[in-house]
């Protein structure tokens, strides 16, 4: 028992390392995880007291447990068997494929990351770039929903800034779970986005197994009361228009709805800008007829440095208004047993369109394309004042006497971007920028159903 044994140094070091790993995995790590888990639970409990819609336990479940729950779900199990039979592969191979899909989709939500980092950065970025305007009834629209219902924000998709804006504006209500495309699957951005509660979607995937795994995750999240945000247009609008809503995610929510359990309330969200950061990229994609939004990192970095220099030299100016308006909610339970997916999509699209904000740059773009000739500043102010949509849309809240200043500010912004040319007191379109004018005018054209001139034709004539 007391005999001395000689060991090589490398073997002794290896044994010590194995012992340390064993001790940590069996004693230290579980205790540390338990300690931080308890602190997290207490922090979330305090946070839920000030949120309109508290964070549900489903969203705080361990990612591993959520993945296991999905891949062993009876519907997913049946899809695995069908996939194996149709593709002539062993069931264990199909099972591993389903596991990979689940690992790709399921987020790893962190309340600390979302509220201590994400919400604050979203607020800073949104207010640094834009003059953020909200609908007067935004808070009331959320509060009017059943407190026990699952809220799903259904939004038009104008810019990647949409994520930032709605995260900032909804932070007082709850933590949103976004459906994001494959553009966000780049490390380390993917880790940050997943910790914010977002889940990835393969836009071009047509496999039944993948769709079943995605559908069951969305349905489980909905049943668990997770507040979600989706862009049913399927991607950014490349021409500025509100596109028809696609059925994908909406169908998953509707198909999994149980009227005897939690209600689902859809909140339409209309977003519009004086300036869309990706406008020229989107216009170029529309002309090519594809959806490749390749942006050089060098161009992005140069633009960031240019903005920083403007801020340092006190010449920085915001990109105008970014407006977000919530429309009247739609309750699935209230639709009854005869609810139709097409009717639901039409209703949500109409409600988004009916509350679409009217910033001044889109309004002026429409006026210029209608006129087709240079316009004096006084005439522009008059046309803008009487050109606001009368029955639809959300007019900008304007203080008494500030209307002229807002119009002049929008004209100056358009001149700085090279869209307008000013000669004395007369403004004229820069001929090379007709596509940009059409892009912005299209965002509000649906608000003028009775006087709907073809903006494209007007631009072509001028």
CB 325 within 8 A of CB 156: no
Q: What is the DSSP string of 223-266?
A: HTT--EEE-TTSS--SSSSPPPPPSHHHHHHHHT--TTS--EEE
Residues 153, 203 within the same domain: yes
> Residues 328, 329, 334, 337: is their CA dihedral positive or negative?
positive
Of the residues 297, 331, 357, which one is the last residue of a structural domain? 357
pTM: 0.81
The residue with greater pLDDT, 361 or 314, is 361
Residues 325, 375 within the same domain: no
Indicate whether 124 belongs to any domain. yes
pLDDT digits (tens, 9 = 90+) for 370-385: 988 899 999 999 999 8
Q: What is the pLDDT of residue 38?
A: 58
Say which residues have a Cβ less than 8 Å from residue 320's Cβ, sequence separation at least 6: 130, 131, 273, 274, 275, 359, 360, 361, 409, 410, 413
Helix 360-371 vs helix 434-442: angle between axes, to the nearest 10 degrees? 120
Residues 197, 122 within the same domain: yes
Distance CA 447, CA 383 (A): 16
DSSP label of 172: T
Residues 210, 309 within the same domain: no
The three-class DSSP label of residue 325 is: strand
CB 69 within 8 A of CB 75: no
pLDDT digits (tens, 9 = 90+) for 152-173: 999 999 988 888 888 888 776 6
- Cα 358 to the chain's mean position, in Å? 20
Helix 341-354 vs helix 248-255: angle between axes, to the nearest 10 degrees? 120
Indicate whether 43 belongs to any domain. no
Residue 134's DSSP bridge partners are 324
Distance CA 254, CA 119 (A): 29
pLDDT digits (tens, 9 = 90+) for 216-228: 999 998 998 888 8
DSSP E strand stretches across 15-64:
none
Nearest in space to 429 (alpha carbons), one of 458, 395, 404: 458
Residues 380, 333 within the same domain: no
- As a three-state string, the secondary structure of 188-233 is CHHHHHHHCCCEECCCCCCCHHHHHHHHHHHHHHHHCCCCEEECCC
Distance CA 194, CA 106 (A): 8
Q: Determine the Cα angle at 73 with ends 70 and 75, to 5°.
A: 115
The residue with greater pLDDT, 3 or 26, is 3
State both tokens at 205: 């995937």
CB 160 within 8 A of CB 169: no
Structural domain for 341, as ranges: 55-277+319-357
Q: Give CA separation, 64 vs 38, 68, 375, 440, in Å.
A: 18, 6, 63, 45
The residue with greater pLDDT, 458 or 414, is 414
Q: Determine the Cα angle at 421 with ends 417 and 422, to 5°.
A: 120
Q: What is the pLDDT of residue 271?
A: 94
Indicate whether 40 belongs to any domain. no
Of the residues 336, 357, 378, which one is the last residue of a structural domain? 357
Distance CA 383, CA 367 (A): 7
Residues 330, 392 within the same domain: no
Residues 285, 270 within the same domain: no
Residues 79, 224 within the same domain: yes
Residues 205, 308 within the same domain: no
Give the percent of the chain with pLDDT over 70.
80
The residue with greater pLDDT, 266 or 227, is 266
Distance CA 441, CA 239 (A): 10
Nearest in space to 439 (alpha carbons), one of 362, 337, 327: 362
CATH number, position 134? 3.40.1130
Residues 110, 163 within the same domain: yes
Query: pLDDT tier at 456 (50, 70, 90 boundaries)?
Result: very low
Residue 39 has pLDDT above 70, yes or no: no
Q: What is the pLDDT of residue 440?
A: 96
Total domain count for the chain? 3
- Cα 150 to the chain's mean position, in Å? 18
Mean pLDDT throughout 44-60?
A: 62
For residue 290, count other CB atoms closer than 10 A to its CB.
10
């Amino acid at each position: 028992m007391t005999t001395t044994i000689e060991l090589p140094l490398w073997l002794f070091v290896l044994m010590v390392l194995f012992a340390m790993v064993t001790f940590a995995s069996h004693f230290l790590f579980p205790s540390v995880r338990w300690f931080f888990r308890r602190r997290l639970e207490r922090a979330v409990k305090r946070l839920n007291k000030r949120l309109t819609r508290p964070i549900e336990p489903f969203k705080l479940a361990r990612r591993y447990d959520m993945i296991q729950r999905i891949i062993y779900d009876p519907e997913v199990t049946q899809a695995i068997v069908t996939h194996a039979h149709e593709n002539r592969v062993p069931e264990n191979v199909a099972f591993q494929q389903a596991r990979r899909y689940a690992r790709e989709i399921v987020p790893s939500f962190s309340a600390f990351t979302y509220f201590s980092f994400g919400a604050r950065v979203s607020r800073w970025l949104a207010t640094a770039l834009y003059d953020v305007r909200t609908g007067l009834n935004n808070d009331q629209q959320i509060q009017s929903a059943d407190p026990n219902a699952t809220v799903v924000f259904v939004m038009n998709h104008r810019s990647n800034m949409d994520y930032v804006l709605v995260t900032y504006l909804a932070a007082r209500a709850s933590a949103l779970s976004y459906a994001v495309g494959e553009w966000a699957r780049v490390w380390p951005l993917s880790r940050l986005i997943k910790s914010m509660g977002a889940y990835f979607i393969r836009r071009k995937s047509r496999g039944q197994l993948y769709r079943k795994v995605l559908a069951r995750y969305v349905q489980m999240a909905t049943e668990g009361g997770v507040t979600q945000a989706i862009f049913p247009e399927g991607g950014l609008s490349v021409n500025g228009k509100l596109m028809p809503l696609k059925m994908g995610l909406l169908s998953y929510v509707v198909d999994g709805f149980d009227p005897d359990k939690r209600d689902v309330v859809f909140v339409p969200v209309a977003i519009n800008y004086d300036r869309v950061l990706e406008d020229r990229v989107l216009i170029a994609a529309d002309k090519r007829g594809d959806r490749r939004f390749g942006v050089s990192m060098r161009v992005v970095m140069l633009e960031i440095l240019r903005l920083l220099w403007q801020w340092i030299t006190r010449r920085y100016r915001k990109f105008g208004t970014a407006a977000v308006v919530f429309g009247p909610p739609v309750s699935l339970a209230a639709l009854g047993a005869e609810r139709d997916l097409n009717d639901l999509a039409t209703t949500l699209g109409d409600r988004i369109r009916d509350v679409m904000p009217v910033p001044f740059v889109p309004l002026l773009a429409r006026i210029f394309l209608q006129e087709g000739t240079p316009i004096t500043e006084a005439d522009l102010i008059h046309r803008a004042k009487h050109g606001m949509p009368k029955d639809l849309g959300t007019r900008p809240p304007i203080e008494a006497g500030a209307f002229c200043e807002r119009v002049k500010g929008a004209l100056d912004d358009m001149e700085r971007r090279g869209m307008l040319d000013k000669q004395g007191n007369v403004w004229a379109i820069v001929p090379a920028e007709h596509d940009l004018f059409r892009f912005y005018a299209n965002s509000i054209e649906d608000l003028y159903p009775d006087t709907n001139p073809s903006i494209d034709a007007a631009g072509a004539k001028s």
